[in-house]
Chains A and B, each alone.
Chain A
Amino acid sequence: SQTIHQWPATLVQPVGSPLSLECTVEGTSNPNLYWYRQAAGRGLQLLFYSVGIGQISSEVPQNLSASRPQDRQFILSSKKLLLSDSGFYLCAWSVLEGSGGYTFGSGTRLTVV
């Protein structure tokens, strides 16, 4: 069966520090991978998506970047965190056109202080 792992679950980082959040998928090949951010009391904002190794599409200009070094690994990074980067980060995967929907990870709660 397919599973998605996302870690860490919670993270408190000082302003200006780097960030690395990792997401891995098991039990499927060549998934579409996504990073979303959910700010407090707000909806989901798509940050990045990837349809293959090394292929990253960015949805909004921001302080973050994403990489896909392996087929089932998706990493969200920042060189210097801002206060506004605080939020709940969700990784998700889907197959093909997403007609089967997404499967989400359990999320990372990031607080920048």
Chain B
Amino acid sequence: GDSVTQMEGPVTLSEEAFLTINCTYTATGYPSLFWYVQYPGEGLQLLLKATKADDKGSNKGFEATYRKETTSFHLEKGSVQVSDSAVYFCALGGNNRLAFGKGNQVVVIP
């Protein structure tokens, strides 16, 4: 079935550093791809999405490009802030359901 794989382990980095969170997927057909963010004690919020190959989703300085050739949707931000500390989930959509990755805890240190 459709699935999403995120890199293992939390990510700790300093303010203004470059952030990359890897996400790869396995799917039949042409699903939409998403990144969600969860701030402490809250539900998930849609951060960005891409609905077809080569689309780039962007929001709040974050970007991710739908790469069909590498089945990837890596999340990047050029200069992180303390307020970006959260858990980030990659997800794949289709057939009335989303398949989520396990999430990555990002901690930004001042």
Residues in B with CB closer than 8 Å to A96 are 96
Residues in A with CB closer than 8 Å to B43 are 6, 90, 104-107
Q: How far is the CA of A32 from the CA of B96 in the complex (A)?
A: 7
Chain A interface residue count, CB cutoff 8 Å, equals 25
Determine if A46 is an interface residue (Cβ-Cβ < 8 Å): yes
Question: How many CB-defined contacts (below 8 Å) exist between A and B?
Answer: 63
Neighbour of B46 across the interface among A44, A102, A109, CB < 8 A: A102
Q: How far is the CA of A93 from the CA of B57 in the complex (A)?
A: 21
CB of B46 to closest CB in A, whole Å: 5
Determine if A54 is an interface residue (Cβ-Cβ < 8 Å): no
Residues of B within 8 A of A (CB): 32, 34, 36, 41-46, 49, 51, 89, 91, 93-98, 100-103
Residues of A within 8 A of B (CB): 6, 32, 34, 42-44, 46, 49, 51, 90, 92, 94, 96-107, 109
